[in-house]
């Protein structure tokens, strides 16, 4: 299994981009949709998807226990490419500028040039 990329600021593993799907449901509004079938186990539910089941919730009804919701991961997508949260992207930018104060975007340098010409 490939290891998850780590946050470039704090070193924590990046969060997987997970889509939830609910089963045996006519009212739940999970982002990945809902299905009317009713798998009894993780194995049974996994057979229905190419994506990997990374989280699972069970529920009980008069027929017994069933899988009520799964979180699916496509085995490659993360919530963000580099950082565990937006604040760490910002903290990284500040630490990068402390280290190399001359860094900037092309738009920044164009504005700076214009400002100097005025």
Taking CB under 5 A as the criterion, the residue among 34, 38, 52, 88 binding Zn ion is 88
| Rounded least distance, CB 16 to Zn ion, Å | 15
The two beta strands, 16-22 and 64-78, are antiparallel
| Rounded least distance, CB 83 to Zn ion, Å | 6
- Taking the C-alpha atoms of residue 76 and residue 11, their distance in angstroms, rounded to an integer, is 19
Q: Cα 69 vs. chain centroid, distance in angstroms? A: 17
Q: Cα 84 vs. chain centroid, distance in angstroms? A: 9
8 near Zn ion, judged by CB under 5 A? no
Taking CB under 5 A as the criterion, the residue among 10, 13, 103, 111 binding Zn ion is 10
User: Under the rule (CB under 5 A), what is the footprint of Zn ion?
Assistant: 7, 9-10, 12, 84, 88
């Amino acid at each position: 299994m490939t290891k998850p990329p780590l946050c470039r600021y704090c070193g924590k593993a990046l969060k997987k981009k997970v889509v939830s799907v609910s089963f045996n449901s006519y009212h739940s509004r999970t982002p990945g949709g809902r299905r009317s079938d009713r798998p009894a186990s993780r194995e049974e539910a996994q057979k229905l998807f190419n994506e990997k089941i990374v989280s699972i919730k069970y529920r009980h009804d008069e027929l017994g226990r069933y899988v009520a919701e799964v979180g699916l991961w496509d085995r490659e997508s993360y919530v963000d490419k580099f950082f565990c949260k937006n604040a760490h992207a910002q903290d990284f930018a500040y630490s990068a500028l402390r280290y190399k104060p001359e860094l900037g975007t092309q738009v920044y340098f164009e504005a700076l040039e214009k400002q100097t010409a005025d």
